[in-house]
């Protein structure tokens, strides 16, 4: 199963819901990376082998410019309810392998 690194804008309710469902989740806050640049966040996620979950399209720009990453799960903040986002992420964690996500972006 894929391990996730949640950007600082992902609601705490999503984190709690994923953890209750057995998903391996690390938040920006738990990693003490709040306030770091997007490039630093993406590099950190890659270094620890976690797929970044974000609402921030700036990460898509970094990836498009050739920045290597362990994978990105992206959607807009208003697309899903909390429960829908938890379900979508949980399913993607079960469907994809970590190797498949390397330098891949999954639009939720």
Closest C-alpha among 10, 95, 88, 102 to residue 50: 102
pLDDT digits (tens, 9 = 90+) for 28-57: 999 999 999 999 999 999 999 999 999 999
Distance, CA of 52 to CA of 71 (rounded, Å): 6
User: Which residues pair with residue 106 across a beta bridge?
Assistant: 73
pLDDT digits (tens, 9 = 90+) for 76-103: 999 999 999 999 999 999 999 999 999 9
CATH for 4-107, among 1.10.8, 3.40.50, 2.40.10, 2.60.120? Answer: 3.40.50
Contact between residue 70 and residue 102 where contact means Cβ atoms under 8 Å apart = yes
DSSP code at position 70 = S
Measured N-to-C along each axis, helices 12-20 and 82-95 cross at an angle, to the nearest 10 degrees, of: 50
């Amino acid at each position: 199963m894929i391990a996730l690194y949640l950007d600082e804008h992902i609601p705490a309710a999503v984190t709690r819901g994923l953890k209750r469902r057995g998903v391996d989740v690390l938040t920006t806050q738990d990693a003490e990376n709040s306030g770091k640049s997007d490039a630093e966040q993406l590099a950190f996620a890659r270094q620890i082998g976690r797929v970044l979950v974000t609402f921030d399209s700036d990460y898509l720009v970094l990836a498009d410019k050739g920045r290597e990453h362990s994978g990105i799960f992206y959607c807009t903040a208003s697309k899903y309810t909390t429960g829908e986002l938890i379900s979508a992420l949980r399913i993607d964690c079960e469907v994809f392998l970590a190797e498949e996500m390397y330098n891949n972006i999954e639009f939720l």
